[in-house]
């Protein structure tokens, strides 16, 4: 049986074990802070309301750590059966770690938090207040970040562009501290580096998304796994998300529009040159404008054809569930 089949077989129904909360923590080389974050979560939940205090799990997803994080996680699991551990064979990235956590968690509500102790788990109850108010995903907003400029500047640029282009008006898409209703994590599909765009993907599915400001602490141990280099990768991922959320089910609208515009411009250029030729002006065969017009016509036709091929593929791979997201059914 493949890993994918195992995960599918083990995917629980909503709160089938009666768990109220699952706390998912992606782990990559965090052996120093791992005991602290687990201890803090346990303390916070022990002092919290009964539904959370008595019914929760902590799911550690070791993303191929090489510093002994898995051994630390094993000891934590041995000391507390509510701490579950998943170990990857190698480093697959944060998106894969979150997807594994979402697949295997059993809580009616899910919280994701990084292991670096820069966010205080006690703030999860403030996120839950928004869930209680009817929202499906609540993201933490680190108003005053205790990070170097190499992290904060790219994030500001990224957050501003994504907010403006997607209509999901959050200040801090990149924060790993989020609270979800279980339906969200069981419906969105993550791969590549799409963890940065979870609020966008959830919004596209019709879930209500908001944010709550939280305190942000300086990193105590280790070093950040990200920096300015992620800005370039984030741009490519952003284009991918825009396509997936806007044109995945309607490829002809994108490629057909671009192709039509190119063909109109190319056709106008060729028509202009044809009028000049008919009026007896000098030959047009050696004019660069003719090359440009023909090139635009051919390129536009290729874009349009790509859109048609995309529509045919979409038709042949059609699944009913791709068209809508059901909140509830009354029988």
**Cα(115)–Cα(67) distance, rounded to whole angstroms?**
14
> What are the helix and strand counts (H, E) for the chain?
12, 7
Same domain, yes or no: 105 and 57: yes
Same domain, yes or no: 138 and 224: yes
Look at the pTM and tell me if it is higher than 0.85: no
pLDDT top residue among 178 and 274: 178
**Cα(64)–Cα(94) distance, rounded to whole angstroms?**
11
pLDDT above 70 for 51:
yes
Which residues, in sequence order, are CB contacts of 167 under 8 Å at separation 6+? 203
Same domain, yes or no: 99 and 120: yes
Tens-place pLDDT, residues 216-265: 887 776 666 554 555 566 667 777 777 777 777 778 888 888 999 999 99
- Which of residues 203, 218, 246 is at a domain's end? 246
pLDDT on residue 146: 76
Q: Which of 87-91, 202-206, 257-261, 325-329 has the lowest mean pLDDT?
A: 325-329
- Which of residues 230, 246, 262 is at a domain's end? 246
Tens-place pLDDT, residues 125-139: 999 999 999 999 999
For the chain, the straight-line distance linking the first and the last C-alpha, in angstroms and rounded, comes to 36
Residue 198 belongs to domain with CATH number? 3.90.550.10
Same domain, yes or no: 143 and 275: no
pLDDT on residue 7: 43
Task: Please name the residue that has the structure tokens 């979409």.
Answer: 314
Same domain, yes or no: 197 and 255: no
**Cα(104)–Cα(89) distance, rounded to whole angstroms?**
17
Q: Give the rounded percent of residues in the chain with a pLDDT score beyond 70.
A: 85
**Maximum Cα–Cα distance for the chain, whole Å?**
92
Q: Which pLDDT band, with edges at 50, 70 and 90, does 115 fall under?
A: very high
pLDDT top residue among 330 and 37: 37
pLDDT on residue 222: 60
Residue 328 lies in a domain: no
CA-to-CA dists, residue 212 to 85, 140, 170, 198, angstroms: 29, 5, 10, 16
Same domain, yes or no: 127 and 238: yes
Q: How many domains, in total, are found in the chain?
A: 2
Residue 323 lies in a domain: no
Residue 265 lies in a domain: yes
Tens-place pLDDT, residues 9-46: 443 334 445 799 999 999 999 999 999 999 999 999 99
pLDDT on residue 12: 37
Same domain, yes or no: 258 and 133: no
Tens-place pLDDT, residues 150-205: 677 778 888 888 888 888 999 998 899 999 999 999 988 888 788 989 999 999 88
Residue 324 lies in a domain: no
DSSP-derived secondary structure for 138-166: EEEEESS--S-HHHHHHHHHHHHHHHHHH
Residue 35 lies in a domain: yes
pLDDT on residue 230: 58
Give the range of the structural domain holding residue 173, as residue numbers without chain letter.
3-246
pLDDT on residue 212: 95
Same domain, yes or no: 109 and 174: yes
- Which of residues 222, 246, 270 is at a domain's end? 246
Same domain, yes or no: 193 and 229: yes
pLDDT top residue among 324 and 7: 324
Q: Which pLDDT band, with edges at 50, 70 and 90, does 311 fall under?
A: confident
Mean pLDDT of 97-113: 94
Same domain, yes or no: 212 and 292: no
Same domain, yes or no: 260 and 150: no
pLDDT on residue 236: 74
CB 159 within 8 A of CB 67: no
Q: What is the mean pLDDT of the chain?
A: 84
Residue 194 lies in a domain: yes
Same domain, yes or no: 124 and 213: yes
**Cα(169)–Cα(160) distance, rounded to whole angstroms?**
9
């Amino acid at each position: 049986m493949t890993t994918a089949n195992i995960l599918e077989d083990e995917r629980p129904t909503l709160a089938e074990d009666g768990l109220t909360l699952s706390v998912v923590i992606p782990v990559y080389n965090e052996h120093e802070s791992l005991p602290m974050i687990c201890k803090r979560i346990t303390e916070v939940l022990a002092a919290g309301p009964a539904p959370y205090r008595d019914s929760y799990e902590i799911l550690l997803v070791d993303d191929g750590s090489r510093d002994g994080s898995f051994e630390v996680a094993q000891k934590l699991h041995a000391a507390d059966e509510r701490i579950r551990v998943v170990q990857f064979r190698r480093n697959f990235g944060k998106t894969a770690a979150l997807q594994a956590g979402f697949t295997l968690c059993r809580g009616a509500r899910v919280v994701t938090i990084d292991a670096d102790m820069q966010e205080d788990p006690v703030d999860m109850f403030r996120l839950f207040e928004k869930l209680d108010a009817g929202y499906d995903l609540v993201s933490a907003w680190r108003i005053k970040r205790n990070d170097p400029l190499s992290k904060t500047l790219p994030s500001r640029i990224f957050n501003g562009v994504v907010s403006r282009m997607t209509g999901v008006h959050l200040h801090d898409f990149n924060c790993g501290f989020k609270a979800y209703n279980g339906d969200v994590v069981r419906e969105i599909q993550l791969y590549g580096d799409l963890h940065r765009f979870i609020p966008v993907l959830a919004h596209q599915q019709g879930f209500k998304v908001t944010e709550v400001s939280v305190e942000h602490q300086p990193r105590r141990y280790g070093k950040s796994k990200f920096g300015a280099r992620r800005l370039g990768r984030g741009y490519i991922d952003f284009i991918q998300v825009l396509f997936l959320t806007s044109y995945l089910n309607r490829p002809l609208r994108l490629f057909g529009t671009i192709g039509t515009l190119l063909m109109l411009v190319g056709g106008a250029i060729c028509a202009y040159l044809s009028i000049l030729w008919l009026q007896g002006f000098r030959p047009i065969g050696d004019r660069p404008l003719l090359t440009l017009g023909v090139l635009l016509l051919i390129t536009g036709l290729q874009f349009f054809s790509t859109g048609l091929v995309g529509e045919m593929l979409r038709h042949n791979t059609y699944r009913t569930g791709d068209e809508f997201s059901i909140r509830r059914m009354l029988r």
